[in-house]
Structure 1
Amino acid sequence: MIPAAVLALSVTLAGCAGTAAGGRSADAARPAGGAVAASAAPGTTQGRPPQTSADPRASADSGASTASDPEASTASAPSRLPGLGPRTLAKVPADARQAVLVTGRGRNSSASQVVLYRRTGAGWEPGATWPAHNALKGWTDDHHAGDLRSPIGVFTLTDAGGLLADPGTKLPYDQGPAFSIGGTGFEGEPLAGSFDYVVAINYNRKPGTSPLDWTRPLGANKGGGIWLHVDHGGPTQGCVSLTQKHMKELLLALDPAQHPVIVMGDAASLKR
């Protein structure tokens, strides 16, 4: 196991939170690993067995939002996730009962919105709509380390963690000081607190491990350490960020038994 001090240093040197000169971010902080099989979570994970996924790039998203009203939404729930074209829809697993839909404003924009959906017999019921940030330069179908773009695709969500104590999520949660971060972002905003809560996005990482795990099955050049994390008020290096309140709501809603996935990309790309 990598000592916490080393992990904390790595988090401050690279990462998903966008940085200005001298700043730090979170992408390279965690060892993202990726795609094919899950392994036992490290001893830092608090008390719950890790979830596994045979296909981390196309996984189920659990999007039940605490703000959704099943009684009000049942009649109008769409049978398919809205805004998605056939190619994207084909990547959403049949057993996914929750989906975090991240829709970017444009291919080169760092602004996006997040809607948490849950699938019922009536269709996909939307929860609240939350503003979000993605990478500084927008989105890409071929993510590489340092390109300052967020990867487009459908990915499973199996593991969480953060500097703060577990708020009560059903996901395995790794809490500790290694989630500390300092410095400033691309717009000069402080990055402190960005990793108070995080959910690892299973792009080029090994599911069933702490978000801080360094395994990258697709190779280091393909990047990694792509997270959902607390918004610091500016673009990220590759992650998706929400306010702390909304990150906490998301953690409380996600349920591994519902096979949660995240569907993410700019609006035009998602329609393919």
Structure 2
Amino acid sequence: MIQRRTAVALLASPLLLTGCGGGAEATERRTPTRPAAPAPAPGTSTEPAARGIPGLGRERLAAIPERCGQAVVVTGRGKDSPLCTVVLHERTTTGWQAGAAWPAHNALHGWSAHHMNGDLRSPLGVYTLSDAGGLLADPGSRLPYHHSGGFHSPGTGFEGEPLEGSFDYVIAIDYNRRPGTSPLDWTRPLGPERGGGVWLHVDHGGPTHGCVSVAKAHMRDLLRTLDPGRHPVVVMGYADWLAR
């Protein structure tokens, strides 16, 4: 079972988005899920899925479901650092195969094992990836894609950088949310004080409120590659924690 022990900052008003910025809600349009193959993709191994990912220790590996065939590993530079690296790993008959390493940002104050609303830390943990969306039209996402003007992100970031375009593409991280809904959905099973709205989204050149951000081209790559039939997850935290 996926552990959901941590949280990310949730903006106070239900009319604003979480993540690196905010924007008014808008009527969303959901693109139906593309049919997933009923069986694992060719080359998928039936061996335990928690083997062969560099940098992950026994505890982190044990938290990855055996059926998982894709794992986005987010490795932070330190507990209090906003800098990290993102690598997509895909399971093959010979084990996990790593893709390119992408520079990325996480929350301003680093990471938290028990984040509460407002501490500007990203949640440690292993979480499923079920839904996507964005301000821009669907680029070919295999996850259900929710196209909405509600993904507008005005304002500036912590270093004065513009936030516009940050939510052009997003992938919801299933922390304190209801899978199978738009990333804009405000259902918080653990309560609003535990935060929510934790996303992978487009990098704006500075720290986030709690999300993980990569370049727009890499977000398109993830959207076109992550396959719900392969049960993708994100494994996220600073390097020392991941190694446990």
TM-score by length of 1: 0.76
Partner in structure 2 of residue 193 of structure 1: 165
1:88-112 Cα offsets, whole Å, 9 max, x none, are 1110000000000000000000000
Partner in structure 2 of residue 16 of structure 1: 19
Over 3 Å counting, the alpha-carbon distance change for 1:165 and 1:8 in structure 2 is: farther
In structure 1, give the amino acid aligned to 2:177: R
Provide the secondary structure at the position in 1 that maps to 2:213. strand
Q: Matched residues in 1 for 2:161 and 2:92: separation?
A: 40
Q: Matched residues in 2 for 1:89 and 1:245: separation?
A: 28
Q: Which runs of 4+ in 1 moved over 4 A?
A: none
Partner in structure 2 of residue 114 of structure 1: 86
Over 3 Å counting, the alpha-carbon distance change for 1:172 and 1:86 in structure 2 is: same
Q: Matched residues in 2 for 1:82 and 1:149: separation?
A: 24
Q: Matched residues in 2 for 1:259 and 1:226: separation?
A: 18
Partner in structure 2 of residue 218 of structure 1: 190
Q: CA deviation at 1:9?
A: 4.6
Of the three residues 43, 47, 53, the one matched with 2:32 is 47
Q: Matched residues in 2 for 1:132 and 1:88: separation?
A: 21
Q: Matched residues in 2 for 1:190 and 1:43: separation?
A: 24
Provide the secondary structure at the position in 2 that maps to 1:204. coil
In structure 1, give the amino acid aligned to 2:55: G
Q: CA deviation at 1:82?
A: 1.1
Higher helix share: 1
Provide the secondary structure at the position in 2 that maps to 1:82. coil
Q: Matched residues in 2 for 1:193 and 1:43: separation?
A: 17
Q: Matched residues in 2 for 1:164 and 1:271: separation?
A: 37
Q: Matched residues in 2 for 1:130 and 1:49: separation?
A: 27
Report whether the alignment pairs 1:254 with 2:239.
Answer: no
Higher strand share: 2
Provide the secondary structure at the position in 2 that maps to 1:252. helix
Partner in structure 2 of residue 101 of structure 1: 73
Over 3 Å counting, the alpha-carbon distance change for 1:49 and 1:127 in structure 2 is: closer
Partner in structure 2 of residue 90 of structure 1: 62
| Structure 1 segment 157-236 matched on structure 2, within 5 A | 157-236=129-208
What's the % identity of the aligned pairs? 59
Q: Matched residues in 2 for 1:219 and 1:44: separation?
A: 26
Q: CA deviation at 1:25?
A: 4.1
Q: Matched residues in 2 for 1:268 and 1:161: separation?
A: 32
Partner in structure 2 of residue 60 of structure 1: none
Do the aligned residues in 1 keep the contact of 2:76 with 2:82 (CA within 8 Å)? yes
Q: Matched residues in 1 for 2:34 and 2:179: separation?
A: 12
Q: Matched residues in 1 for 2:200 and 2:107: separation?
A: 12
In structure 2, give the amino acid aligned to 1:257: G
In structure 1, give the amino acid aligned to 2:19: C
User: Which blocks of at least 5 consecutive residues in structure 1 are unaligned?
Assistant: 1-6, 18-23, 31-41, 52-63, 65-69, 71-77
Over 3 Å counting, the alpha-carbon distance change for 1:50 and 1:144 in structure 2 is: farther
CA RMSD of aligned residues (A): 2.5
Q: Matched residues in 2 for 1:134 and 1:242: separation?
A: 10
